[in-house]
Structure 1
Amino acid sequence: MEAKQYHNPDKIYLSVKTVFYREGGLEPISFLWEDGQEYEISKVTDIRRAASLKAGGTGIRYTCKVHNREVYLFLEEDRWFMERRD
């Protein structure tokens, strides 16, 4: 039996460039948006386990600064996603 794929228009899966530190841990440094534009993350201000209330799903939420805006980037098991903004 084939599993159904659920498409959530509020959840955007992204390619993310990440630094893995030899002491342990990781930090996202940039991501590719749906249109292929790469955005640099200037700073990660918070890292915590959290749920995405808009898009659904849980994981590690990275609060990031991108062009002086605060955005949430989620690591859900082995995939990165962001919530679509209105």
Structure 2
Amino acid sequence: MEYKTYVSVTVHFTAQGRMIPSSIEWEDGRVYEIDKILDVRPAASLKAGGNGIRYVCLIQGRRRHLYYENPRWFVPRKGLE
């Protein structure tokens, strides 16, 4: 089971208005730089629920999904059970 973990995101806006996330701040205050954006598209998070703009990111060599669900950002995370 996955659930939404809401995170703070540092975002760069291009002159054309496009959002480009550059780092995420985890709930415990750790900051992770986004090394590369691999894909951006409207999509649903089927396991965690919700939909918005899905960013497929490379963070510390690992592929992660980051969602912008206006007005908040979340990362799907596996449950502890």
Q: Structure 1 length as normaliser, TM-score?
A: 0.86
| Paired letter, 1:52 | S
- Structure 1 unaligned regions, length at least 5: 1-8
RMSD over aligned Cα atoms: 1.2
Residue 85 (str. 1) matches residue 72 (str. 2):
no
Map of 1:46 onto structure 2: 39
Q: Percent identity?
A: 49
Deviations along 1:17-50, one digit per CA (max 9) or x if unpaired, are 0000012201000000111100000000100110
Residue 27 (str. 1) matches residue 11 (str. 2):
no
- Runs of 4+ that moved beyond 4 A: none
| Paired letter, 2:62 | R
Aligned-partner SS, 1:36: coil
Q: How many pairs were matched up?
A: 78
- Structure 2 unaligned regions, length at least 5: none
Higher relative contact order (CA 8 A, sep 6+): 2
How many angstroms apart in 1 are the aligned matches of 2:40 and 2:78?
Answer: 21
